[in-house]
Amino acid sequence: MKLRENDSADNKGSNLEKKKLDWSCSLIVASLVGAFGSSFLYGYNLSVVNAPTPYIKAFYNESWERRHGHPIDSDTLTLLWSVTVSIFAIGGLVGTFLVKVIGKFLGRKNTLLVNNGFGIFAALLMACSLPAGALEMLIVGRFIMGVDGGIALSALPMYLSEISPKEVRGSLGQVTAIFICIGVFAGQLLGLPELLGKESTWPYLFGVIVIPALVQLVSLPFLPKSPHYLLLEKHDQEGAEKAFRTFLGKEDVSREMEEVLAESRVQRNIRLVSVLELLRSPFVRWQLITAVISMACYQLSGLNAIWFYTNSIFGKAGITPEKIPYITLSTGGIETLAAVFSGLVIERVGRRPLLISGFGLMALFFGILTITLMLQDHAPWIPYLSILCILAIIAAFCSGPGGIPFILTSEFFQQAQRPAAFTVVGTVNWLSNFTIGLLFPFIQQSLDTYCFLVFAAICFAGALYLYFVLPETKNRTHAEISQAFAKRNKAYPPEGKTDSAVTDDKMNIQLEPDSSSALEN
């Protein structure tokens, strides 16, 4: 009994020590610096073009008239503006394909560092477009900024997933979503007329992109590379151990090294999997389908439609046009708070409940919003109910669907499969982004307020699929997650056998010494 009590006390002590050491200073700095120079810029570039829209269109008209001797016609201006907005998604798609090529030679950390070159170059192009009188510089800058976003949204989740222990992997992964929301909020804030949202200062809105890129460029070199990358792809065991010690803040990293080595035994002499090989693999078929569906629902869930209606709904509620930009800041604040909340609870609640409830609540509030928009002229209080629905939809999105799809993609796949998986999922992400931007005006024109029912159906279908298919991945290794999908795949992953063989070997080795030694083990 005393032996058991001592063992129990030792286990509790080790668990408490583990919890204290999960979040080291290096781990926090790596996540904050990585996200600030990557996902923050993605969120910032989603919202930064909204405030200076009339000034940019006026700049396009002036440039056109100076070159051609006559003002630009409305259709051409609309086309140029649509290209300016949507080319960001095309750049993101290109960046997604570049990740696998760059990451193969440079690794996760150096890919993020190289990516800062795209961000700085794009910022200088866009900031100098007005003084140079060249509208093409702004469009090309938006495209290059999209490339930066495409690389960032693939390389950053991979890097954060590989440097974090599985106990805090979800919370650390949510840093990506939190900084996307902070970036959106920063774009809204700096776009206010009192700051940079004026005719004379709008180029500086794009110039400030240099700051996060430079912060990451000078900070990230002092942090180690991904220990998974060092061990599995560079076969540098000493470097991997050193990286684990730095990120975990402890000397004994044998458990973490053994988990990676178990994966290494499975992948010995296995090269990086191509996209075609990944699509053909029966062992990850349902993991890939689930990652693709969760990412498609992430983009097609209708949050972009919410931004389209926000100003008109606020106007119906009696808010003056001058005050609407300040009220809109509340939506950015709600986004950020909901994402932070998700990051705090994800390791307790799990990925599955947050994702399913997020899409389910979005479907519910989209339905209520459709009703309130139809009836908003019948009573003075109904527009305020529409505002509450908008805030609820934003909160539901950011509490789960806004970041968890990136985490799942990191958790579902092995080291050799991960770049190809992010290529596939990233392609779906950016194509969905481009599609919704292209088709939403036509959907809105045809269905008016009923367009929200389309998004309600998408969110409901996503929640239903995830309810029946998605297993919980919290605190699970890759082998355990693969086993959870094995029955549905009708193909058991080879690592299950390998892991069991490794375990058997270890047990045999431990049973050979005398009984006291075995008892200590």
Of 199, 223, 247, at which residue does a domain stop? 223
512 within a domain of the structure (yes/no): no
Of 208, 223, 238, at which residue does a domain stop? 223
Q: State the Cα–Cα distance between residues 85 and 49, nearest whole angstrom.
A: 8
* Same domain as 183, residue 296: no
* Same domain as 388, residue 467: yes
* Same domain as 359, residue 293: yes
* Same domain as 448, residue 325: yes
What residue spans of 413-520 are helical by DSSP H?
418-447, 451-469, 478-489, 494-511, 515-520
503 within a domain of the structure (yes/no): no
| Predicted confidence band of residue 281 (pLDDT cuts 50, 70, 90) | confident
* Same domain as 286, residue 377: yes
Asked if residue 513 has pLDDT above 60, the reply is no
Domain count, the chain: 2
Q: What is the pLDDT of residues 282-300, one digit of tens each?
A: 888 899 999 999 999 988 8
Question: What 8-state DSSP symbol labels residue 272?
Answer: P
Task: Give residue 56's domain range.
Answer: 23-223
* Same domain as 166, residue 80: yes
351 within a domain of the structure (yes/no): yes
Q: Of the ranges 94-103, 226-235, 261-270, 337-346, which one carries the lowest mean pLDDT score?
A: 261-270
The reported pLDDT for the residue numbered 56 is 87
Q: Of the ranges 40-54, 84-98, 253-267, which one carries the lowest mean pLDDT score?
A: 253-267
Asked if residue 374 has pLDDT above 60, the reply is yes
232 within a domain of the structure (yes/no): no
The CATH number covering residue 45 comes to 1.20.1250.20
The helix, strand and coil proportions of the chain, stated in percent and rounded to the nearest 5, come to 80, 0, 20
Q: Of the ranges 101-105, 225-229, 420-424, 501-505, which one carries the lowest mean pLDDT score?
A: 501-505
* Same domain as 191, residue 308: no
Distances (CA, A) of 110 to 156, 272, 356, 495: 11, 18, 35, 29
| Predicted confidence band of residue 117 (pLDDT cuts 50, 70, 90) | very high
Give me the mean pLDDT over the 235-240 stretch: 79
406 within a domain of the structure (yes/no): yes
261 within a domain of the structure (yes/no): no
Please, what's the b/e burial string for 37-57 (b: 16 or more CB within 10 A of its CB; e: otherwise)? bbbbbbbbbbbbbbbbeebbb
* Same domain as 298, residue 201: no
Task: Report CA Rg, the chain.
Answer: 25
| Predicted confidence band of residue 450 (pLDDT cuts 50, 70, 90) | confident
| Predicted confidence band of residue 495 (pLDDT cuts 50, 70, 90) | very low
pTM: predicted TM-score of the whole model, two decimal places: 0.77
Cβ of 344: how many Cβ atoms within 10 Å? 12
Distances (CA, A) of 481 to 181, 254, 409: 29, 22, 12
Residue bearing the bigger pLDDT, 311 or 65: 65
Q: What percent of the chain has pLDDT over 70?
A: 85
* Same domain as 215, residue 333: no
Q: What is the pLDDT of residues 402-430, one digit of tens each?
A: 888 888 888 888 877 888 888 899 889 88
The reported pLDDT for the residue numbered 339 is 86
* Same domain as 333, residue 209: no
* Same domain as 283, residue 206: no
Asked if residue 227 has pLDDT above 90, the reply is no
292 within a domain of the structure (yes/no): yes
* Same domain as 377, residue 297: yes
Q: State the Cα–Cα distance between residues 162 and 458, nearest whole angstrom.
A: 32
260 within a domain of the structure (yes/no): no
The reported pLDDT for the residue numbered 14 is 44
Give me the mean pLDDT over the 495-512 stretch: 39
| Predicted confidence band of residue 509 (pLDDT cuts 50, 70, 90) | very low
